[in-house]
């Protein structure tokens, strides 16, 4: 009887111990899950802590980045789903990209977004742990950029006083002044002066710029011959023509600088990306300091372009151009056949032209060289100019530097004051709101019927010594 009572007592005691252990395990599991689902506030440094707090709207510190990384990695090792494996691979790539964020200033004109770093917002489709990890990476990147900005100050380049008068980009809210700003090239009010190698390059020559003109066979007669007669005639050394058709007339003028890409003549994502890939490869081999892409309906004022780019260091990371949208673009990034997420970034429209410093272009190699550019474009299923923005902002964390000196037919070109035309880097023509859209040249050298694009009159305004320009008495 006594033995039976003892066995019963031991059984009850064992049951109580097991239940207590089970409840304790549930409590710990619940606490860990709750911490992973909270918005992240990560301490990286005194400079980046404020950036992280601003990004999340919190002032307290929930988890350090190391602790979150350790917990997430421990949890992910126990998982075996293909979705988690795909996300883990992407996160490793993202951490690698963050570790290579360059030590450079990221702005000359203040960015329209106000926050500066091309912020990317995660959408549905990711688990809580995966979303938390990728949000952590975003905050680390923002913290790094904030730290660099405080360390070096803001780069404000010198420019002609005339350029201050014309600001076609509307000023946006956030981030201090917003819109775009001009300065005197000083310390910019930041925390300390610039290192010597980050100062603007006043000795930049027009021959240091690689100008890539993208065209197609059907526009050789109507567009390219106009460019060859006007601005290209004074910039043959730095101008390269990328087309899809052989043309002996153009080759007589351009020589080896006419490149038949053998890409499709179609105007679709694959064909455009194919040409951009060849442009990129040719630039890298050229050894020039700046890569500038334009379309065959652009007039390039090479001297104004040189003056604009001389405000930046070609050895550092600069992506200069003008967006056609008033907001960042959202793209679906396909990481695998079953895994994707949304990325948000600014891009400079190819219709206005854009430029990449050599320092940035070389960092783009993993996504742009040896035909990889086309695969990168397929990853987000967007055209070539969008893909350049995706690589620069989303993959490398280099924000677009907005410049009002680049112009496409997507804006009202009539609004550019006549007095400011000589200072614009690129100009264009086309239609706007179903009306002929050309620059307004007062008393141009040629009438509208003889010069419908106004490029002939513009060229004579800039270069009145041209032999075919009417000579004023």
Among residues 281, 231, 232, 236, which one has the least CA distance to residue 256?
Answer: 236
Sign, CA torsion 146/390/209/403:
negative
Report the C-alpha gap between 407 and 298 in whole angstroms: 8
- Please give the structure tokens belonging to residue 218: 């059907």
Burial of 53 (0-12, 13-18, 19+ CB in 10 A): middle
Q: Which two tokens stand for residue 353?
A: 């032209």
Tokens of 363: 């960092």
Q: How far apart are CA 350 and CA 214, in angstroms?
A: 9
Question: Of the listed 244, 384, 385, 451, which one is catalytic?
Answer: 385
User: Could you confirm whether 385 is annotated as catalytic?
Assistant: yes
Which ranges of 351-425 would DSSP assign to H, the alpha helix? 358-363, 365-368, 372-380, 384-389
DSSP 8-state symbol, 211: E
46-56 and 128-152 helices cross at what angle (nearest 10)? 130
Residues in the chain: 473
Residues 180, 183, 186, 191: what is their CA dihedral angle, to the nearest 10 degrees?
-40
Write the burial class of residue 83 (CB in 10 Å: 0-12 exposed, 13-18 middle, 19+ buried).
Answer: middle
DSSP labels for 190-257? SSS---GGGS--TT--GGGEEEEEE--GGGIIIIIHHHHHTGGGG-TTTEEEEESS--HHHHHHHGGG
Report the chain's terminal Cα–Cα distance, integer Å: 131
Q: Which residues contact 368 (CB under 8 A, 6 or more apart)?
A: 277, 280, 361, 376, 391
Is the Cβ–Cβ distance between 203 and 289 less than 8 Å?
no
Contacts of 355 (CB under 8 A, 6+ apart): 209, 290, 291, 292, 293, 305, 309, 318, 319, 320, 321
Q: What is the 3-state secondary structure (H, E, C) of 266-296?
A: CCCHHHHHHHHHHHHHHHHHHCCCEEEEEEC
* Contact by Cβ (8 Å): 416, 166: yes
- With tokens 């351009």, the residue in question is 254
d(CA 119, CA 112): 12
Instruction: Cite the active site residues.
Output: 385
């Amino acid at each position: 009887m006594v033995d039976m009572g003892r066995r019963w007592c031991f059984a009850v005691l064992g049951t109580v111990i097991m239940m207590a252990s089970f409840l304790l395990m549930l409590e710990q599991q619940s606490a860990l899950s709750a911490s992973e689902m909270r918005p992240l506030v990560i301490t990286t440094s005194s400079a980046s802590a404020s950036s992280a707090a601003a990004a999340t709207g919190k002032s307290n510190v929930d988890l350090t980045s190391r602790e979150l990384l350790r917990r997430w990695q421990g949890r992910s090792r126990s998982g075996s789903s293909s979705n988690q494996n795909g996300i883990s691979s992407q996160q490793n790539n993202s951490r690698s990209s963050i570790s290579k964020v360059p030590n450079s200033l990221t702005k000359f004109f203040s960015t329209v977004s106000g926050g500066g770093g091309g912020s990317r917002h995660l959408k549905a489709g990711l688990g809580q742990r995966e979303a938390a990890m990728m949000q952590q990476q975003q905050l680390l990147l923002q913290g790094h950029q904030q730290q660099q900005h405080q360390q070096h100050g803001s780069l404000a380049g010198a420019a002609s006083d005339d350029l201050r008068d014309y600001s076609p980009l509307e000023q946006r809210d956030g981030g201090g002044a917003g819109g775009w700003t001009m300065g005197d090239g000083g310390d910019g009010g930041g925390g300390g002066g610039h290192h010597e190698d980050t100062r603007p390059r006043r000795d930049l020559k027009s021959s240091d710029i690689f100008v890539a003109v993208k065209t197609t066979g059907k526009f050789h007669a109507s567009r390219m011959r106009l460019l060859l007669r006007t601005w290209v005639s004074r910039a043959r050394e730095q101008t390269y023509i990328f087309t899809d058709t052989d043309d002996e007339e153009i080759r007589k003028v351009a020589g080896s600088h006419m490149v038949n890409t053998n890409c499709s003549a179609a105007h679709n994502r694959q064909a455009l990306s194919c040409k951009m890939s060849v442009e990129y490869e040719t630039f890298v081999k050229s050894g020039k300091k700046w890569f500038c892409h334009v379309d065959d309906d652009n007039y390039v004022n090479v001297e104004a372009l040189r003056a604009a780019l001389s405000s930046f260091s070609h050895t550092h990371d600069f992506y200069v151009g003008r967006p056609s949208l008033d907001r960042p673009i959202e793209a679906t990034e396909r990481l695998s056949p079953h895994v994707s997420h949304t990325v948000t970034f600014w891009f400079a429209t190819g219709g206005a032209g854009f430029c990449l410093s050599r320092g940035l272009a070389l960092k783009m190699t993993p996504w742009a060289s040896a035909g990889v550019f086309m695969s990168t474009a397929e990853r987000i299923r967007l055209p070539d100019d969008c893909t350049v923005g995706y690589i620069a902002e989303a993959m490398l964390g280099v924000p677009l530097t907005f410049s009002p000196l680049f112009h496409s037919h997507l804006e009202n070109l009539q609004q550019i004051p006549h007095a400011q035309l000589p200072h614009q880097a690129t100009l264009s023509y086309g239609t706007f709101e179903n009306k002929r859209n050309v620059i307004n040249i007062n008393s141009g050298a040629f009438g509208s019927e003889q010069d419908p694009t106004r490029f002939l009159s513009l060229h004579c305004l800039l270069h009145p010594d041209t032999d075919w320009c009417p000579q004023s008495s």
